[in-house]
Structure 1
Amino acid sequence: MASRVYVSRLGVLMAMLLLMQGHSGEGVLYRRLYIPAVLPEADTCPPVAEVTAPSHVQLVRFYCIIRCNAEPRCKFITVLGRKCRLQTFRVAPGYSQPGPASLPSYVTDSAAGSPDLALNKPAVQGATYRGYPNPTTVVNGVLCRTDPLQCACTTIADAWIQVDLEASFAITRVVVTASFSYDLMFFADTNIHVGDTGSYLTDPIVGSKDGSHPTTDFQEFTYSMSAQGRYVTLHRPASFSTALCVCYIQVYSD
């Protein structure tokens, strides 16, 4: 019994040392965030497990961090008293929804990264294809999709989706996620515009998706750039006569 307690305390001590090392100027290894207690994506992308810290463990979150590190599918942890969920979905850098009904969670610093400028910003699009959700789904920051109808899709005649960053930023990277199984064919031959007018007719093209199709689900397409603007617009020219469908849009100023 004594040796089991000793190993557990040693593991907790190692986790504490790692966290302290992160605070010494090399970057925090784990960042606290909050997720809503009721989150639809948590049901569609359930945790690897819900584990309970042994009674002799005082620092539950460190115990959970160790368990998460040992599980390749674990992206971050959510703490519920002496229990924790080893979550399988990702959240966008900068994501946090504090509130009375929110749960404390911890994500690795490498997963935290630079804040996503598009996170929870206003998103609009041309006419919405029947049955698909409001385009705000592409900027909600919860990176879990198990159904094509959880992604945003326009009509053929009005194929554009736009994010209003609410201020003009120097933009270095736009990341678009689409799905091979879930309408990837409708993210092709698409231009990315960045500017301050909010119109794809006047804001310059800073990146383009060609007509090729990848072979994996929920693939991220990263477009590096040196652009300035408040609005990020994806537009598929009418000459292609197809809709525009994407699952996430993330914007960074690294």
Structure 2
Amino acid sequence: MFSKEISLSKLSKQDIAQSVESTLDRIVPKVNDRTWVVEYLYRHKIGNKLPRGKKFNIYRGIESKGKWINEAKKFNCQISNSNYTNRISPFLLSQLTFLSYATMKRECQLNTGVVFDVIKMLEGDKNFAPSTELSKHRIAFNNNGILKNYEHSHVPMLPNAYLEMMAKLQTQKRIVYHIDDTSLAVNIKKVENEVKSKGASKPGRMTGHWMVTRTTNGKTYYLGVFPHSRGALDDHWIYEQVIESERYLNV
């Protein structure tokens, strides 16, 4: 990827570093996943009425609790035969359904299927996308916060998550180190292996939406997926939705 962007003439390490930085700055897309419609849907309670207006027409099913939960399970049928299906909250499946609809309507740009890759990884199921291991996972919340009894894993649903990780300063240094001086080809596999070797929650890994989980009696329950918190105000509504999710599982 980078070798096509950089001249094959002999460059110093400083020249290469500058070329890598400018290339990444140019090719990393900027993505906004928090439109006002999506923000509203994150806070909405299943079974409640949605506001009027065509913006919400595609999500009207959420107003009928029983039908919507059944539809969400069918929509996310890829995990229906797993031995951890009953630990994935219907509330999370509901979120993945409306986020998928929002993506189809171009309200946001999200790959919701990545959530199941992260769940498979956490469950020890080997059938997940290799890049999933580059994300942060099983991170405890602040002991003094309202989410202290939960953990979260980063789910790289944004289409630019991988390139955002590559653009981080520490990763750029790894890229420069693993560039062949003659061909200027990058050994991306070695860069990724170094990122993974730094630990599951260390800086330099992929970030993304939070998937909130809770471990009870040695079993992990998957409760919801949320955008990065912007502080105490976000923590409060995220907590309320997590509590709502637990009701569906009787945790």
TM range (shorter): under 0.3
Higher strand proportion (structure 1 or 2): 1
Higher helix proportion (structure 1 or 2): 2
State TM-score, norm by structure 1. Answer: 0.23
Which gives a bigger RCO, structure 1 or 2 (Cα 8 Å, sep 6+)?
Answer: 2
